Chain A
């Protein structure tokens, strides 16, 4: 069955440090992949998406993600985290249905 796995439930990083949030999917074909961010009390906002082509995609707020077919991964990265990045991050893929990961909550230490 298709699924999306975000293995890290909580992550804490210091402000200014680099960040990588993991996402793995299980599906044979190349899916359409997204990362969304949910700030406290807010809906989900699209950060970036991958459909095809260049496997490194750039998103808003300085985020990027790299699609690696061999690892079935679509990890989200940011070189330098800001305190305002504290939120919950969801990986999502779409192929006939939308499949959400369980989310990773990011805390940012001052």
Chain B
């Protein structure tokens, strides 16, 4: 049973370039979350979707960040233009449902992003 799949595992890019991170949630899971992890700020929730609809994007740091979920099996997080301060590990997670309490989060292995 495949878990949450993220790609790429590592991304190195230059400042100003567009970066796209990809996530495939566990089949049958209705909720998807994007987190960013840095030493300074720990784990931050950027955005989450329920049934492909963005529910809360208040954690998205600025307009350079955007996320989409065109279908139940795929989501992207895009940074355009990227800046060095965006360097972090980005995690995608999914859960079976959301809002009813008690759901377990299943995490992908993360994308290590380095913006030079």
Q: Which residues of B contact A51 (CB under 8 A)?
A: 102
Q: Is the CB of B42 within 8 A of A102?
A: yes
A97–B99 Cα gap in the complex (Å)? 7
Q: Is the CB of B109 within 8 A of A94?
A: no
Q: Binary interface profile of B, 99-115, with partner A (CB < 8 Å = 1, else 0)?
A: 10111111111101000
Q: Which of B42, B43, B101 contacts A96 (CB 8 A)?
A: B101
* B33 is an interface residue with CB less than 8 A from chain A: yes
Q: Is the CB of B107 within 8 A of A98?
A: no
A43–B106 Cα gap in the complex (Å)? 9
Q: Is the CB of B105 within 8 A of A46?
A: yes
Q: Is the CB of A43 within 8 A of B109?
A: yes
Interface size on B, residues (CB 8 A): 20
Q: Binary interface profile of B, 42-82, with partner A (CB < 8 Å = 1, else 0)?
A: 11010000000000100000000000000000000000000
Shortest beta-carbon distance from A27 to chain B in Å: 11
A100–B42 Cα gap in the complex (Å)? 9
Interface size on A, residues (CB 8 A): 22
Q: Is the CB of B104 within 8 A of A49?
A: yes
Q: Is the CB of A34 within 8 A of B42?
A: no
Shortest beta-carbon distance from B13 to chain A in Å: 20
Q: Binary interface profile of A, 29-71, with partner B (CB < 8 Å = 1, else 0)?
A: 0011010100001111110010100000000000000000000
Residues 53-106 of A contacting B (Cβ, < 8 Å)? 90, 92, 94-98, 100, 102-103
Query: Assuming the A-B contacts A32-B101, A94-B102, A95-B101, are A43 and B43 also in contact, with contact meaning beta carbons closer than 8 angstroms in the complex?
Result: no
Q: Which residues of B contact A103 (CB under 8 A)?
A: 42-43
Pairs A–B under 8 Å by Cβ, sample size 19: A31-B101, A32-B101, A36-B105, A41-B112, A42-B109, A42-B110, A43-B108, A43-B110, A44-B105, A44-B107, A46-B105, A49-B104, A51-B102, A92-B105, A94-B101, A95-B101, A100-B42, A103-B42, A103-B43
